[in-house]
Structure 1
C-alpha cells in the first residue's frame, strides 16, 4: 500500500497540471496560437536548459560505471528498434509511426527517476548513469524516427532523408544540451552564482509549461479515434518493456538501486518532451499527447505492481 500511495503521489501532480491545461483551453484562456508558440519555446529553450542543468548537477565522474551505462544503452536501442519494426508492420497509418515509437520507448527518467530511486534507497546516485546511457539515445532515435517517418519522408530519397536526419540530430537543441551538460559534469565546470540561478529559473519553467501544453492541445474527440494505438503503446510502455528487460537484468545480476533504475527507464510514463518533439517535427501530436496522458495515469498502478513484485522477490 505504501508503494501504491508513493506512485500515486509521484504521478498525480503531473496529471493535474495536464488537466489544468485542458480546462484552460476549454474555457478560452489558452488558444492554439499560445500552444504553438509555447511548444516551440519549450523545445528550443526551456527543455534544453532543464536537461543541461540536471546533467551538470550530477556527479558523473564520482558515480560512473561503464558496464551499467552500456547496459542501459543496449536496452534503449533494443527497445526503440523493436517497437519501430513492430509499428512499421502493424500500423496502417504511417503518420502515427513516429509518435507511436517515441511514446513506446521514451521514458520520463529525468522527472520520475531520481524521485523514485531516492524514495526507496535515500540516494539516487545510479540514476545519472542510467540517464547517460539512455537519454542521449532517446533523443537520437526520436529525431531519426520522426524525420524518417515524417510527412516529407515519401517525397524525398533515402539519401536526402538520412542527411536530414543527421542534420536534425547534430542540431537538436535537446540532444546538444544533454551532451554539453555531460561534459560540464565530467570536467566539473562551475558557473557564476547569478548564471546558475538564472538557468535554474528557466529550467523550472520547462515541465509545467510542457504539461500545460499537453493538456491544452489534448483533443478528446480526436484522441478517441486513436484509442487503439494509444492503449497499445501504453501497454507496451508500462508492461511489455519491464516484463521483457527486468528478468534479463536480474539474470545478469542486477539488484537494488541498479535494478530500480532500469525499472524507471523502462516502466515510467512517456515523457512530455516526446510530445514537444513530435509537435515540432511533424509527428502525430494527438497520439503523442494521448500517450503521455494515458501512461501518466496508469503508471501509478503499473509501477506499484513492478515495485511490489520486485520487493516480494527481494530484488530491490
Structure 2
C-alpha cells in the first residue's frame, strides 16, 4: 500500500477517535492545572447519567423502525462476543494463576466496555445519527447483560450477597435503560414524537457529550500511574485488543459487515466502564486494581481504537463514514 493511502487511512480513523479522546485529554489537562475539580466531575457525571444520556438514548430508540429492523445479527454478535471474551479471559486468569479476587476484577474488565459514553461518542463520530440508531439496541441489551454477568462473577469470586431480585430492581431503575425502553415503546406504538425531542437530542450529542468526555478525563488521577502492575497492563490488553478482536471475529463469522460491524467494534473497543469500579468496591474487592485498569484503558484507548479502525477501513469492512466537519 502506498504511503499516501496509509496516511489517508490513519486520518480517517483519527477523524473518528481523535475528537472523542481529544476531549478526554483536555479533561486530564484541565484537572491537572486546577480548572476543574472533583465536584465538577461528579456534577457533570450525575447530570449525564440521570438526564442527558437517557434523553439522547430515548430519542435515538424512538426514531428506529423496529418493524423493519430486519437483520439483528450484529446485536447477537455483540452478545456472543461478550460471553466468548468472558470465558476466554477466565481461562487466561487460571493459566496465569491469579488469585480468585483478582480474577473477578480482571474478567469483568476484559468484557465490560464503556458503552454509554465513550462507545456512543465513537459511534456518533463515525456514522452520525445513523451510528446512534444502530448503537441504541446493543447498548440496551449489553448494558443489562454486563450488569448481570458482573453480579454473578463478583458473587462467585468475592462472595457477594447481591440477590438476583436486587439486581433486577437496580436495572429497572437504571435511567439509561428506562430511556431506551420508553423510546422503543414510542416507536412500536407509533406515537408522535414532539419536534423538540430531536432538537434536544442533537444539542446533547453536539455539546453535552464532549463535556461528559472532559469529565472522564478530569476523573483520571495521573499520580496513581506509577503503581500500575503487570496485571493492570494485561487486563488493559484484554480490554483494548483481545476483546475487540474477538468481537470483530465473531461478527465476521456471523456475516456482519458495513456500519453494523463498525458500531460493534467501536462499542467493544471502548475503555473499561467506570461502573465496574463501583461494583468491585461494593463486593469489597481489589479496588486499586479496578481503578488502575480504568485509568490505563482510558489513556490508551485513543491509540488502539485508531489502529483497529484503520485496519477495518483498509479492509473495506465498516461502511461509509460521515464526512468530517
Q: Which residue of 2 aligns with 1:235?
A: 237
Residue 164 and residue 223 in structure 1: after superposition, are their counterparts in 2 closer, same or farther (change >3 A)? farther
Distance 1:166 1:32, change over 3 A: same
Distance 1:148 1:209, change over 3 A: farther
Give TM-score, length-normalised by structure 2: 0.73
Cα deviation digits, residues 135-176 of structure 1 (max 9, x gap) = 12331133335556779x95753xx44333222222111222
1:112 and 2:122 aligned? yes
User: Judging changes above 3 Å, is the alpha-carbon distance between structure 1 residues 93 and 23 closer, same or farther for their aligned structure 2 residues?
Assistant: farther
Aligned to 1:177: 179
Q: CA deviation at 1:290?
A: 2.9
- 2:175, 2:95 → 1: CA distance? 31
Conserved in 2, the CA contact under 8 Å of 1:53 and 1:199? yes
Aligned match of 1:143: 147
Cα offset for 1:92? 4.3
Q: Is the 8 A contact 2:240 2:301 kept in 1?
A: yes
SS in 2 for 1:269: coil
| Aligned positions of 1:50-65 closer than 5 A | 50-65=56-71
Aligned ranges for residues 117-266 of structure 1 at < 5 Å?
124=130, 128-129=133-134, 131-132=136-137, 134-145=138-149, 147=151, 157=161, 160-202=162-204, 204-226=206-228, 228-266=230-268
Partner of residue 21 from structure 1, selected from 19, 23, 27: 27
Gaps of 5+ in 2: 1-5, 282-286, 320-325
Q: CA deviation at 1:181?
A: 2.2
SS in 2 for 1:65: coil
SS at match of 1:78: helix
- 3-state SS of the aligned residue for 1:191? coil
1:117–1:124 Cα contact (<8 Å) kept: yes
Of residues 226-235 and 47-56 in structure 1, the stretch that sits farther from structure 2 once superposed is: 226-235
The superposition leaves residues 209-254 of structure 1 with CA deviations (integer Å, 9 ceiling, x where unpaired) of: 3211221111112134235344323422343234334344444444
Q: Distance in 2 between matches of 1:154 and 1:67?
A: 34
Deviation at 1:5, TM superposition (A): 0.7
Q: How many Å separate the matches in 1 of 2:62 and 2:249?
A: 32
The answer on whether the counterparts of 2:23 and 2:210 sit within 8 Å (CA) in structure 1 is yes
What is the CA–CA distance in structure 2 between the aligned matches of 1:34 and 1:242, rounded to whole Å? 32
CA distance in 2, matches of 1:57, 1:190: 10
Structure 1: runs of 5 or more not aligned: none
Change (3 A) 1:233 1:182: farther
Map of 2:3 onto structure 1: none
Separation in structure 1 between the aligned mates of residue 29 and residue 103 of structure 2, nearest angstrom: 26
* Secondary structure, counterpart of 1:190 in structure 2: coil
Alpha carbons of structure 1 residues 99 and 259: separation in structure 2 relative to 1, 3 Å = same
TM-score, length-normalised on structure 1?
0.75
- Shift in Å, 1:81: 5.2
Instruction: Identify which range, 222-231 or 7-16, moves more after superposition.
Output: 222-231
CA contact (8 A) 1:40 1:280 kept: no
Deviates more, 1:15-24 or 1:66-75: 66-75
Residue in 2 aligned with 1:270?
271
* Aligned equivalent of 1:94, options 95, 101, 110: 101
The question of whether the paired residues in 2 share the 8 Å contact of 1:15 and 1:297 is answered with no
Comparing 79-88 with 216-225, greater Cα deviation is found at 79-88
Query: Which 4+ stretches in 1 moved above 6 angstroms?
Result: none
Q: Which moved more, 1:16-25 or 1:285-294?
A: 285-294
Indicate the RMSD between aligned Cα atoms, in angstroms. 3.7
Query: What is the alpha-carbon distance in structure 2 between the residues aligned to residue 150 and residue 105 of structure 1?
Result: 13
Q: Secondary structure at the match of 1:295?
A: helix
Q: 1:8: which partner in 2?
A: 14
